[in-house]
Structure 1
């Protein structure tokens, strides 16, 4: 009830009817090439398993033992009631976090992933390989069922970045604009691009990114374009890494005039043309759109997404600003699958996240940006695997024999 003059906490009680499931699951995990968190020595990793609740929260249901002084731990097998993991709902999300144990209790976060009991019950297969983004957004590792699983290293990932240059973002010379060019700090677009970009560049095969803008008037004739290269080179729109994209973005702000309307379909179709040319599983294309959420060509965008769902392609949308983003949520398709002209999308290929939800009010910029990067990439592995399965495409590389810790291959997608 609170104490006058004191800022008290809150206790929330929730209830859920228990399922009748009496099954138990026995699992064993290992990890390769974990992030080194200790200044002296290696990490002391342990895993924490969380069951998801009906209200979207998570509750700890299991912790593994701590494996001391190793970056390649093999945890002991453990048995847990399926009801504790997911209350008997095989498709309910299970979140797993990995920490570096510290004696004083301030355990360092290494990474996390989500899965389900249905996926885990498949046992030793490529479906139980998990690449986990580390908190410093620079490395990743495999968390796998023993023995080592099938690798997907035969697929090259290609990212394309598209940035919204429409007038609804505000005049870049004014501090109220989402594109405001402050000499002291990055604007919302640059922050989102840097947070997501610094991790996706580790997955891109050549670190060269086509970077596009849309919704601006271009010099010298003021022509409106919904698909222009940020570096100004139509024949070679590639930028070298995220730093190259940020540099091209800032240069574009100095030369183009923000205009409109906000059309997504042209940049989606741009990437789809490349994806359509390579459908044998050797390459996969991901389009990252950063926008303020105001969209003018909803019908055309839905049609473009439905068509792209047949291709080796995914779309990530990061919304910046304070808009409602209802249209972006609709495009995400998590609740209702996108359709166009009476045709449903073959699979869900869109992931949307609002940037404002990741602004940490405590000032922990590193943590908030790491959460953003983790969530925007969360659905890509499943989307890629679903495309491969639907086309009957299997990785070229055969499953390697299990190698002892320290002899594992370099992490791959």
Structure 2
């Protein structure tokens, strides 16, 4: 028998509210088992409480109905719980024994506390056991409205570039607030005046909770910052009116004036769609893997100085410690294990006090355990290093992005969050922007937490805006396709943490629209657009899923394991079986495809530096561009080329980044100098080409690529013979 409480104690109907894109309504239901009714207390009721972080006490959310004389059953009453990612929320469950239908409480089964994040991220009911043996099952239902998306398609009319660069139009959909702009979508580049972009989908939830939605049409400028063609402002309510005159927009320039009556963007279609939510991602088993980076540059002061941000007091915290606890606590509750990567930068470390911009605070371990381990290791390490400078974030970001890239190669379900605690974005170098753009193509986000009074300085404020402005453009021309960096400070409020669920679902939405892909699908030449390789290679049908497992390092590991076999014949047989598998998986094609990527220019007819001699300004620009494309292609295929290169060629491959920077800089000079400086640049180019191809060794790399492109059978035979010789020797 059950008894329903009075209307005053019934929970409210389920509804989803929005508070700065951070508040979600989730529905909690309870069931129980192992209850032992007694003559003087044969009823059971459970109350649900939520911890108030300000006071430390618990506030009652609801009570269930009361069930009598049953050892197990389910409560009919549901509880609406306000879930926030950016708050460390703890639920408390109190099980009370009820005497009879008078609903008098005559005893308790106990109290259990559990993080709400644990319950929300669990795809199955979560079981909690009280000291008396009573077992309750907690089930969280996520409202389907969290999966609501809008699918939109825009076309442009009379699109033109308002500078001397060739037309290459793409658009950005951004949410604009007083604190920040947030990138929801980046389109592909279209190089025609009558632009017809592909349809795309964006989540509805942030559109409902924000006031201003802007669409910025940009021009893709080669070797330069992209420029604004025009923009317009709209809203979800306006978009829902559908295609037609209601959603035909004349573009405005940066000052708000109309560009031209003919320069239009028109909404061609709009419809409701469904897509992944943050809850879907976490319930699919996604492992949230945070990494903390701490700024130890000299501007933070000495840990022995009471006025310093890093001052270590035996019985008190400091601004860094307090910020880590406040901002990392909510993230920590969403982790599947306790391991945290703890890094430092901007200090001299080690016995010789050598400058390092990315070092582990615990030299003996790659990870520390839990929030307590983070604080203890930070305090201990602060006293064993020498603050130095300058502030440089790139190494820390690149360190974490290596793991994010590896997780894609291995098809792991993980998302990496780099949280950088710093006293100000004082050195936003091009290398930092490059690191952020690289990270945007992989399951990773970067959160800058600014500490101390330096964040109010004009320079830090300007750099903060740059970090969150769009587009972020790599030095090689790629543009970040999604929001990858957020800045959290006193001036921006606490909504940075609240946006992390959106960043995670945004990554999932990006990859789900293109199915499964390897990292090689991110082609730098596409300027940030994602090109999907075929899921099954034509004519061979080898699943793309298996290709990441056949990369060089893992192949060598497999060959090493084969040594454990005692039979030489068995070794030979396994090697011969491995070779066609490699060929079918596209291992050799990945290398030979590089020759196609840079065209026939560097094929068999390439005669070295003499092929790059330029007679006109146009030829000079073209030859410089070809070498840039070659270097970008080599950089993209670097792991595979290193696997088949000799020692001399590997030495050249390690210099490719420097070569690319050198040629990119010269390309800018050629274009800015024009015909007036042609003869001078022609002479410089001839010397540079000799330095790169003859002295630097690029000729050997071109021959290596050409040999792979000429015939796959040569690679096939080599790959078959070498492992056999190696294993039988």
For the superposition of Structure 1 and Structure 2, which TM-score range results when normalised by the shorter chain?
Answer: 0.5 to 0.7
Partner of 1:340: 474
Partner of 1:353: 488
* Alignment match of 1:296 (pick from 427, 437, 446): 427
> Is structure 2 residue 512 aligned with structure 1 residue 389?
yes
C-alpha separation in 1, matches of 2:386 and 2:282: 46
Q: Deviations over 1:246-269 (max 9, x none)?
A: 111001111101111111111111
Partner of 1:269: 398
Contact residue 287 and residue 315 of structure 1 kept, 8 A: yes
C-alpha separation in 2, matches of 1:294 and 1:151: 31
Partner of 1:115: 206
TM-score scaled to structure 1, two decimals? 0.58
* Alignment match of 2:451 (pick from 316, 320, 323): 320
Q: Give the secondary structure class of the aligned counterpart of 2:206.
A: strand
Q: Point out where structure 1 has 5 or more consecutive residues left out of the alignment.
A: 1-26, 48-69, 78-89, 95-112, 132-148, 359-370, 395-413
> Is structure 2 residue 312 aligned with structure 1 residue 189?
no
Contact residue 199 and residue 373 of structure 1 kept, 8 A: no
Q: Give the secondary structure class of the aligned counterpart of 2:333.
A: coil
C-alpha separation in 2, matches of 1:251 and 1:150: 36
C-alpha separation in 1, matches of 2:402 and 2:79: 47
Q: Give the secondary structure class of the aligned counterpart of 2:284.
A: coil
Contact residue 337 and residue 348 of structure 1 kept, 8 A: no
Partner of 1:63: none
* Alignment match of 2:298 (pick from 148, 159, 167): 167
TM-score scaled to structure 2, two decimals? 0.35
Q: Deviations over 1:303-336 (max 9, x none)?
A: 1111111111111111111223335424533x32
Q: Deviations over 1:83-138 (max 9, x none)?
A: xxxxxxx98699xxxxxxxxxxxxxxxxxx962246999878454x466xxxxxxx
How much does 1:385 deviate?
A: 2.5
C-alpha separation in 2, matches of 1:387 and 1:224: 39
C-alpha separation in 1, matches of 2:474 and 2:142: 48
Pairs aligned (count): 283
Q: In structure 2, do the counterparts of structure 1 residues 28 and 201 end up closer, same or farther at CA, with 3 Å as the change threshold?
A: closer
Contact residue 126 and residue 151 of structure 1 kept, 8 A: no
Alignment of structure 1 residues 116-131 onto 2, 5 Å: 116-117=207-208, 125-127=274-276, 129=277
Contact residue 301 and residue 310 of structure 2 kept, 8 A: yes
Contact residue 212 and residue 230 of structure 1 kept, 8 A: yes
Partner of 1:36: 49
C-alpha separation in 1, matches of 2:490 and 2:315: 20
Q: Give the secondary structure class of the aligned counterpart of 2:294.
A: strand
* Alignment match of 2:416 (pick from 261, 285, 288): 285
> Is structure 2 residue 214 aligned with structure 1 residue 201?
no
Q: Give the secondary structure class of the aligned counterpart of 2:302.
A: coil
C-alpha separation in 1, matches of 2:499 and 2:175: 20
C-alpha separation in 2, matches of 1:231 and 1:160: 13
C-alpha separation in 2, matches of 1:181 and 1:251: 9
- The CA RMSD measured in Å over matched residues stands at 3.9
How much does 1:202 deviate?
A: 2.0
Partner of 2:372: 243
Contact residue 281 and residue 312 of structure 1 kept, 8 A: no
Q: Point out where structure 2 has 5 or more consecutive residues left out of the alignment.
A: 1-13, 17-24, 30-47, 51-58, 64-77, 83-137, 146-172, 178-203, 209-235, 241-269, 518-729
Contact residue 154 and residue 282 of structure 1 kept, 8 A: yes
Contact residue 181 and residue 187 of structure 1 kept, 8 A: yes
How much does 1:205 deviate?
A: 2.6
How much does 1:176 deviate?
A: 2.3
Contact residue 316 and residue 376 of structure 1 kept, 8 A: no
C-alpha separation in 2, matches of 1:74 and 1:219: 49
C-alpha separation in 2, matches of 1:40 and 1:348: 35
C-alpha separation in 1, matches of 2:510 and 2:336: 19
Q: Deviations over 1:368-401 (max 9, x none)?
A: xxx467446354334432443354259xxxxxxx
C-alpha separation in 1, matches of 2:142 and 2:471: 40
Q: In structure 2, do the counterparts of structure 1 residues 331 and 200 end up closer, same or farther at CA, with 3 Å as the change threshold?
A: farther
Contact residue 285 and residue 413 of structure 2 kept, 8 A: yes
C-alpha separation in 1, matches of 2:509 and 2:388: 38
